[in-house]
Amino acid sequence: MTEFNNTPGQSLKIINGRLVLPGSDGLTDASLVVADGVITAIGKAAEHANAATTFDAAGAVVAPGLVDLCCNLREPGNGQKGNIASETRAAARGGFTTVCASPQTSPVNDSGAVTHLIRDVAQARSPIRVLPVGAITRGLEGELLSDMAGLAAAGCVAFGNGSRGVRNARILRRCMAYAQTFGLTVMFSPENQALAADGYAHDGLVASRLGLLGIPEVAETAAVMEMLLLAEETGVRLHLSQLSCARSVEMVAAARARGITVTADVAMHQLLFTEDALAGFDSRFHVRPPLRSESDRQALVAAVRDGVIDAIVSQHQPHDSAAKQAPLGATEPGLSTIESTLSMGLLLVDRGELTLTTLLAALTSGPAAILGETATLSEGAAADLCVFDPQATWTPDQHSLISAGRHAPSAGQALPGVVRLTLCNGKVAWGAESR
Amino acid sequence: MTVNQASNRSLQLTADGQLRHFLTLDGLDRALLTDILDTADSFIEVGERSIKKVPLLRGRTVVNLFFESSTRTRSTFELAAKRLSADVLNLDINTSATSKGESLSDTLLNLEAMASDMFVVRHSQSGAPHFIAESVTPGVAIINAGDGRHAHPTQAMLDMLTIRQHKGGFEGLKVAIVGDVLHSRVARSQIRALNELGAAEVRVIAPGTLLPRDVESLGCTVEYDMHKGMKDLDVVIMLRLQKERMEGALLPSEREFYRLYGLNQDKLALAHPECIVMHPGPINRGVEIESAVADGPQSVILDQVTNGIAIRMAVMSMAMGGQVSERNQQQAGSKQA
Amino acid sequence: MTALLDMNRLLDELEAGLREILADRGVTSPALIGIRTGGVWLADVMRKRLGLEEPFGELDISFYRDDFSRIGLNPKVKPSSLPFSTEDRDIILIDDVIMSGRTIRAAMNEIFDYGRPASIILATLVDLGARELPIQPDVVGKVLTLESHQRVKLRGPDPLHIELQETGQ
């Protein structure tokens, strides 16, 4: 491989890779040329094009850059759990070129000032695109509307309430109606707080045996139903974040069939793990929504396959070690996943549960469409791409992880899928020399 | 063996199968549970001597770490440790002051630095003793004195000892556990112990609001009607009902609960005539159990208290023994290397 | 080998020795205690031979051993059982073999936790020497010197016999 440097205007030719092209179910052996931040040629045209440097992608897949709808960058914040620089670099290592920044920061992203701060820091320190999601209620308190129109003007691409709930259905209805007025997308994690109460684990076999406080499925399904009915009435563009139950997926499919504009995502770890992960009180797997039963997991995978779930997200939640160093119920929820999301997906491909093209669609074009964007390898498109070797393996651990959060789900276990090159707008966000 | 059982086994036992922590009955097999009961029998004999003390844990320091106060349980652990000749430090730690995980770890590391050999831990969070054994002070023997809703293994074992004394064994026994199973760490450990030791049937008798989800998966049958549930019983174990249960809309009133699920002489008459009556204490008379039954000829509640000291002596000396022999093996190993 | 292991002769020696020391000391009603397991079998035999009516006591010294901090607790511990009060009694403590003396030290500590005896007479079937503590039996069936690869073990209870084991070197 020739050293590819970042001089603007310089061109790069990627050869010997297997490309993920729009409209194709398989991979296409072809070359691709990038110049001035866009893809200038693919296939035959690329073979003959001249470029300043060449990247040999032999054995690797060349895919559009991954897009994450739910990522916690922890900035603004006190820095202990990471910051925009550390977490976006980790994201680039994971093959992501676009991440939506959760509004759940300190302070909360409920004002134009915070949105501008996020964008400015990202501009200066992030190798990839950061799209802020605005808080739909002030302080995420679930009571008063935030200045949504102003936040949208400042650069927020969607609105949600983080992992916090909205006080009641009346406020939820008004959030939706107000967002609809300005054509804004709302993203909600469905959870009925009264039913979830103090729970922190799936209310099932493992919780019963270990005496964990359970969150029943109905805490999610009741909220999904409420949100679907309110979306139907208000006409808002609703995106349901991080579904965890088989029954939720059924309701989304039925709502779509009725013509309601609703999309949905699932966190990658929900496709791979179940309640059994908590069997040894492993606080890493304290996540919200909780990891549920094997039949739920299978239904979620099927929903990705069938397109009922549009996107797979990282739900990256980096923490300092103290946040996880306590008895299970006293720990903070969330996994550090942004670097291993693609690898976890490849495990599903290895197990035959998803095809590579379905997996990549759910990590690229699926989430992009929800943001009103595209993510495809086509001539003239922005050069956001991810070159990864699906056969090579790496092991997430204390030393190999870039994220400030070291609580990766498969820590110490070799995972398939090493990202060799991430380009964002034609610039190297992650490459072999990045480590 | 499930993942759960396997991981508990490796955390609680040394490589050669000795107890080194006592966190849960999950992962402990019948042979080991029987060893605990047999060892406890020997300690019962010690309790009948003029000097009720043996030198097993002489020079060892046992810290009773109670993050949730319980004078009764703490006293029996204290007495057990003292009868083993250990030095005992009692710490009642206000949970609100250590609600942050960081300070819990710090507290424990400080105690470990004072050369503690054993922590007896009671905590309101399920899994807290696991956390301590696994992540904080792996070189200190951890004895679970009750964690959240998870487990209360010494209580369950003293109940098993009481049942064995009165029934000779467990084969063919029909046992019912009555009351608030949902919040009960005692019930979870009892169900596990009874299944492992070979009881014929474990029944839980309670209204739906006081049962955990999929409770049958723990190894029991469910009966809502106590009159039906009492039939043919050899052992009936009453659980304590906390007053808070009315506030959370789990139950309408103590009166209704007592009428439906309280144990009185009429209901007891439905069981086998030699059915024994147990209660982990402290008893709410007139809520779970009628005084005439609690103090009656079929009640073995005071035997449970006596057996509690012997079981705790057994578990403490076995876990300490596992820790020291493991340490010696490691030292011998490192010398060889 | 047969001469060495003639059980009846050993028991005769033991009985004679005990009778003599009891007579010397003017002890008429001793309390007999055997250390588990071999000492218990011997206590049973001696009780019959000495014509004592009182049942004998059984001692399990697991809780008093001084090697707990090296090997942990014996998982097969059984309750000790002394069916009499030791307070002010003349006690005959019986074990099968004495070597280091550590077992006897543990047994005496345990006996004292039942009460303060007037005296203790120690009787062992075999004395192998190799003492590590200043404890000597009052009555011995036979003094033996073993090679380093040899061990003796009392088998019983019926019939009682001593086994000489050649261990691998």
How would residue B333 be classed by pLDDT, with cut points 50, 70 and 90?
Answer: confident
Report, as an integer, the average pLDDT of B214-225. Answer: 97
CB A100 within 8 A of CB A70: yes
Q: Among A269-283, A336-350, B127-141, C153-167, whose mean pLDDT is lowest?
A: C153-167
Whether the pLDDT of residue A316 is over 50: the answer is yes
Element housing C95 (H / E): strand C90-98
Q: Chain C closest CA to B278's CA: distance in Å?
A: 25
Does C79 sit behind a cis peptide bond, omega within 30 degrees of 0 on the bond before it? no
Number of domains in chain B: 2
| Positions of E strands within A149-294 | 158-160, 185-188, 201-202, 214-215, 237-240, 262-267
Judging contacts by C-beta atoms under 8 Å, the chain C residues touching residue B85 are: none
- What is the nearest CA distance from A409 to chain B, expressed in angstroms? 17
Write the pLDDT tens digit of every residue in B264-273. 999 999 999 9
Say what the pLDDT of residue B337 is.
56
Is it the case that residue B281 has pLDDT exceeding 90?
no
Which B positions 18-77 lie with beta carbon below 8 A of chain C?
18, 35, 38-39, 41-42, 44-46, 49-51, 53-56
CA distance B209 to chain C (A): 42
The whole-number pLDDT of residue B327 equals 86
Which chains would you list as touching C if contact means 3+ CB atom pairs under 8 Å?
A: B
B47/chain A closest Cα distance in angstroms:
34
Chains A and B touch (3+ CB pairs under 8 A): yes
Q: Is the pLDDT score of C168 beyond 80?
A: no
pLDDT at C1: 44
**Chains B and C touch, using 3 or more CB pairs below 8 Å:** yes
Q: Could you tell me if A330 and B125 are in contact, meaning their C-beta atoms sit under 8 angstroms apart?
A: yes
Chain B contact set for C63 (CB, 8 A): 42, 46, 54-56, 317
Burial (Cβ within 10 Å: 0-12, 13-18, ≥19) of residue B249: exposed
Are A209 and B26 an interchain contact pair (Cβ–Cβ within 8 Å)? yes
Predicted local confidence at residue A7, as pLDDT: 52
pLDDT at C158: 84
Average pLDDT of the segment spanning A277-294: 96
Residue B261 pLDDT grade (very low, low, confident, very high; cuts 50, 70, 90): very high
Please give the structure tokens belonging to residue A127: 């190798």
Q: How many beta-carbon contacts under 8 Å exist across A and B?
A: 103
CB neighbours of A407 closer than 8 A, spacing ≥ 6? A283, A284, A319, A321, A324, A334, A335, A336
Mean pLDDT of chain C: 91
Report pLDDT for A3. Answer: 43
Closest chain B residue by Cα to residue A324? B101
pLDDT band at B1 (very low <50, low <70, confident <90, very high): very low
DSSP SS3 for A291? coil
User: Does one domain contain both B173 and B217?
Assistant: yes
Q: Do chains A and C touch (3 or more CB pairs under 8 A)?
A: no
Encoded tokens for C41: 């079998």
pLDDT > 90? residue A312 = yes
For residue A315, give Cα distances in angstroms to A114, A259, A266: 21, 28, 9
d(CA A35, CA A382) in angstroms, rounded, equals 10
How distant is the Cα of B305 from the closest Cα of chain C, in angstroms? Answer: 19
B partners (3+ CB pairs within 8 A) are: A, C
What integer pLDDT is reported at residue B5 of this predicted model? 63
Q: How far is CA A162 from CA A78, A140, A321, B23, in A?
A: 18, 7, 22, 36
Query: Would you say domain A11-62+381-434 falls under CATH 2.160.20.70?
Result: no
A329-348 tens-digit pLDDT: 999 999 999 999 999 999 99
Average pLDDT across chain A, whole number: 95
Q: Go through B96-117 and write b for each residue having 16 or more CB atoms within 10 A of its CB, e for each that does not.
A: eebeebeebbebbeebbeeebb
Q: What is the DSSP string of B237-285?
A: EEPP--THHHHTTS-S-HHHHHHHH-B-HHHHTTS-TT-EEE--S---B
Residues of B in contact with C81 (CB under 8 A): 45
| A229 φ, ψ (degrees, to nearest 5) | -70, -40
Give the pair of three-digit tokens for residue A179: 């967002």
What pLDDT shows up at residue B270? 97
| Average pLDDT for C132-143 | 95
Contact A210 B126 (CB under 8 A): yes
pLDDT in the model for residue C119: 96
**C-alpha span between A435 and B308 (Å, rounded):** 59
In a shared domain, residues B141 and B118: yes
Strands (E) across A315-372 are located at none
- Asked whether residue C67 carries a pLDDT value surpassing 90, the answer given is no
Pick from B50, B54, B318: CB nearest C115: B50
- Looking at the fold, whether B31 and B65 belong to one and the same domain comes out as yes
Q: How far is A216 from chain B (nearest CA, A)?
A: 9
| Distance (Å, whole) CA A43 – CA A66 | 22
End-to-end CA distance of chain B: 34
Q: Is B160 in the same domain as B184?
A: yes
CB within 8 Å: A279 and B100: no
Interface of B with A in 199-258 (CB under 8 A): 212-215, 217-218
The radius of gyration of chain B's CA atoms, rounded to the nearest angstrom, is 20
- Which of B42, B51, B320 minimises the CB distance to C77? B42
Nearest CA in chain B to A216: B213
Q: How far is B220 from chain A (nearest CA, A)?
A: 12
Compute the average pLDDT of residues B104-121.
86
Q: Does position B331 have pLDDT exceeding 90, yes or no?
A: no
- What is the rounded average pLDDT of the residues A360-384? 97
Mean pLDDT of the A355-368 span: 97
Mean pLDDT across A281-293: 97
Nearest-by-CA chain B residue for A329? B125
Q: Which pLDDT value is given to residue A299?
A: 98
Strands (E), C5-65: 31-35, 57-59
Distance CA A166, CA A57 (A): 47
Greater model confidence, A315 or B324: A315
B165 and B118 within one domain: no
For range B272-296, the mean pLDDT: 95
**Does residue B333 belong to any structural domain of this protein?**
no
- Mean pLDDT within A154-182: 95
Does position B6 have pLDDT exceeding 70, yes or no? no
Task: Return the pLDDT at C165.
Answer: 82
Stretch A342-365: mean pLDDT: 98
Q: What is the ipTM of this complex?
A: 0.92
Q: What is the pLDDT of residue B89?
A: 94
Chain B residue nearest residue C73, CA to CA: B321
Whether the predicted pLDDT of C121 surpasses 90: yes
Name the 3-class secondary structure at C151: strand
Q: Note whether B293 and B160 are same-domain residues.
A: yes
E strand or H helix that includes residue C93: strand C90-98
Say if residue A98 is exposed, middle or buried (CB neighbours under 10 Å; 0-12, 13-18, 19+).
buried
Closest chain C residue to the Cα of B36, Cα to Cα: C75
The minimum CA-CA distance between C16 and chain B, rounded to whole Å, is: 33
Can you give the pLDDT at residue A2? 39
Residue spans of the domains in chain A: they are 11-62+381-434, 66-370
Contact between residue A212 and residue A202 where contact means Cβ atoms under 8 Å apart = no
Is the bond leading into B129 cis (omega within 30 degrees of zero)? no
Whether residue B117 sits in one domain with residue B53: yes
> If you measure CA to CA, which chain C residue comes closest to B54?
C63
CATH class of segment(s) A66-370: alpha beta
* pLDDT band per the 50, 70, 90 thresholds, residue A433: low
B-chain CB neighbours of A209 within 8 Å are 4, 26, 188, 217-218
Task: Please state, in angstroms and rounded to a whole number, the distance separating the CA atoms of residues B55 and B78.
Answer: 15
User: What is chain B's mean pLDDT, rounded?
Assistant: 92
pLDDT value at position A66?
98
Sign (positive or negative) of CA dihedral B195, B197, B199, B200: positive
Q: State the pLDDT at residue C161.
A: 87
How wide is the angle at C-alpha C96 spanned by C-alphas C90 and C102, nearest 5°?
Answer: 75
Is the preceding peptide bond at A76 cis, omega within 30 degrees of 0?
A: yes
Q: What is the CATH number of the domain that holds B255?
A: 3.40.50.1370
Domains in chain C, number: 1
Contact B51 C113 (CB under 8 A): yes
Taking each helix axis as running N to C, give the angle between helix B301-336 and helix B30-46, from 0 to 180 degrees, rounded to the nearest 10. 110
Instruction: Report pLDDT digits (tens) over B173-211.
Output: 999 999 999 999 999 999 999 999 999 999 999 999 999
* Strand-pair partners of A428: A423
Q: How many residues can be counted in chain C?
A: 169
Residues of A within an 8 Å Cβ radius of B:
203-214, 216, 276, 279-281, 283, 322-331
Locate the chain B residue with the closest alpha carbon to A209: B218
Cross-chain Cβ contact B42/C78 below 8 Å: yes
* B125 and B186 both lie in a single domain: no
CB within 8 Å: C80 and B42: yes
**Tokens of residue A104, six digits:** 């759940």
Cβ–Cβ below 8 Å for B18 and C72: yes
Please tell me the distance from the alpha carbon of residue A212 to that of residue A199, in angstroms, as a whole number. Answer: 8
All residues at 6 or more sequence positions from C129 whose CB lies less than 8 Å from its CB, including other chains: C99, C143, C144, C145
CA dist B21 → A107, A399, B90, B101 (Å):
44, 31, 19, 21
CATH number at residue C14: 3.40.50.2020
The tens digit of pLDDT for each residue in B83-99 reads: 999 999 998 887 555 55
| Residues spanned by the domain of C39 | 3-166
Q: Which one is predicted more confidently, A393 or A432?
A: A393
Residue numbers of the domain that contains B201: 153-300
Residue C70 has a pLDDT of 82
Listed by number, the residues of chain B in 129-188 with a beta carbon closer than 8 Å to a beta carbon of chain A are: 130-131, 134-135, 147-151, 185, 188
